[in-house]
Amino acid sequence: MNKISATIPLQFDTGFSPFFAAEFDEALSWLAENRFDGIEICVSDPKRVNVEELNNKLRRHHLVVTAVSTGQARALEGISLTDSIREVRESAVQRLREHVDLAAAIGFPLVTIGLLRGAGNPGTKDRDLTYLAEALEVCAAYAECRQVELMVEPINRYETTLLNTVDETVAFLASVAGGEQIGILFDTFHANIEEADICHSLEKLGDRLLHLHFADSNRWLPGMGHIDFSQICDTLRKMNYGGYVSLETINMPDRMVVRSRSQTSLKQCFAGMKEGGL
């Protein structure tokens, strides 16, 4: 089995976690009790994080931060890397720099570029991608100096017009100065909508794959929809994937079920593999 992690909000609530931000300490105990190795934290404003307190809590629970999720800044404040207003784009780039600084202070987790890139607009796609390339160029250079790795998450067409598939994302990053240093975060929920063959897309990524979000076809826990996770886990083993598998599901049927079934859900994904264990 790969190392496992789950999304937990640090400052503001998210629909992708069975814990509210105010329950952060309870979430850490739950992760430790359920033998998670790490935590993916949703952070909207990194400057307001008490780094010392966070590091102490993580140490007490023997947890590492696997990734810093950045999309809340757009959801809550409306900033994005592709906004039509230059000052707004600049504030999104500045925010991403602050996420990188936070990562450098809490053990160098990966930093996600998900919905902070914006939802895009079919009519302005070329312009939006130019803005995104300009922003990523600045952020990639900043992250490299601080030894922090960035990763772009292909996201399905109903949430953004920008970078829906693995192929599109890899080709786009090849056109960005410094883009070869940016990895890929692969979310099985998005991939189930956009990829012709989930396992083939994973294989093509090879070492470019830095992190995974696990959610089923309906975004419930793995095993509660129709994605074949045993095939995915088998592919990860063949790829010698050494990164984390992180749960990012909605709270269905309700958050107490998500809490009580998370560990079993992940175990079953890996137990279903055809050849041995990870």
Q: Select 68 or 273, whichever has its Cβ closest to ligand LER.
A: 68
Report which of 152, 130, 128, 150 is spatially closest to residue 140, judged by C-alpha positions.
150
Task: State the first-to-last Cα distance of the chain, in angstroms, to the nearest integer.
Answer: 4
Question: For residues 243-262, which are near Mn ion according to CB under 5 A?
Answer: 248
- 155 and 126 Cβ atoms separated by less than 8 Å: no
Note whether 99 binds Mn ion by CB under 5 A. Answer: no
User: Is 153 among the residues that bind ligand LER (CB under 6 A)?
Assistant: yes
Options 187, 194, 216, 234; binder of Mn ion; rule CB under 5 A: 187
Catalytic residue status for 248: yes
Active-site position among 40, 98, 149, 153? 153
Pair 236, 207: CB distance under 8 Å: no
Kindly state the smallest distance separating residue 50's Cβ from ligand LER, in Å: 23
- In sequence order, what DSSP letters do the residues of 235-254 get, joined into one string? HHHHTT--SEEEE-----S-
SS3 189: helix
- Cα distance between residue 36 and residue 1, in whole Å: 11
Tell me which residues in 172-191 interact with ligand LER (CB under 6 A). 187
Residues 194-233 that bind ligand LER (CB under 6 A): 213
Give CA separation, 162 vs 22, 86, 123, 139, in Å.
33, 18, 12, 18
Scanning 118-126, 151-159, 196-204, 253-261 for contacts with ligand LER by CB under 6 A, the matching segment is: 151-159
Residues of this chain, 188-217, that bind Mn ion according to CB under 5 A: 213
Q: 216 is in the binding site of which of ligand LER, Mn ion, none (Cβ under 5 to 8 A by kind)? A: none
* 144 carries an active-site annotation: no
Minimum CB separation of residue 274 from ligand LER in Å reads 28
* Residues with catalytic roles: 153, 248
